[in-house]
Amino acid sequence: MRYFLDTEFNGHGGDLISLAMINQTGDRQLYLATECQNPTPWVKENVMPVITCPGARPFEVLPNQFGRMIEHFLIDDHHSVIRADWPDDIAYFCKTLITGPGEMVALKRLEFEMVRIDSYPTVLTGAIQHNALWDARAFRSKWMGFD
């Protein structure tokens, strides 16, 4: 199954703030967020106000819980293809899967695709840019040709 991924993070190279995935059929989604200490000015203005917004309420987790939540979400899918529109999304996703030195969550087969698509403007009613779930939905919509 293909999944559309988006992340928000605290400036270039900063800590992961939120991560969202939606499957290609649009009937399963995961939206996780964690507290952001000392957000950069841009993140404080553009990301933090929309972490929770209409149509997008994250499951609040500690930073070290992202990987386990992803594992639980994908565990029954034996061949997951994770599609992102920006390389950092894949990097942050992969980093969450590492649980300790030489250890990772129990996912056996993942593939990654990076496809540069501008997801906005979108036809999705209520979409809010810089919210990871809405951005994943908009990416899926654009890719699937709904936009």
| CATH label of the domain that carries residue 35 | 3.30.420.10
Q: Which residues contact 73 (CB under 8 A, 6 or more apart)?
A: 21, 28, 30
C-alpha gyration radius of the chain:
14
Question: Taking a C-beta distance cutoff of 8 angstroms, is the pair 136, 5 a contact?
Answer: yes
pLDDT at residue 147 in the model: 60
Range of the domain at 9: 2-144
pLDDT at residue 140 in the model: 97
Band (146; pLDDT cuts 50, 70, 90): confident
Please tell me the distance from the alpha carbon of residue 85 to that of residue 106, in angstroms, as a whole number. Answer: 25
Residue 3 has pLDDT above 90, yes or no: yes
pLDDT tens for 69-122 read 999 999 999 899 999 999 999 999 999 999 999 999 999 899 999 999 999 999
End-to-end CA distance of the chain: 21
Question: What is the separation of C-alpha 147 from the centre of its chain, rounded to a whole number of angstroms?
Answer: 20
pLDDT tens for 16-28 read 999 999 999 999 9
Domain count, the chain: 1
φ/ψ region of 145 (left if φ > 0, alpha if ψ in -120 to 50, else beta) reads: left
Tokens matching residue 103: 């250890």
Whole-number percent of the chain with pLDDT over 90: 95
What angle do the packed helices 87-97 and 66-74 form, to 10 degrees? 90
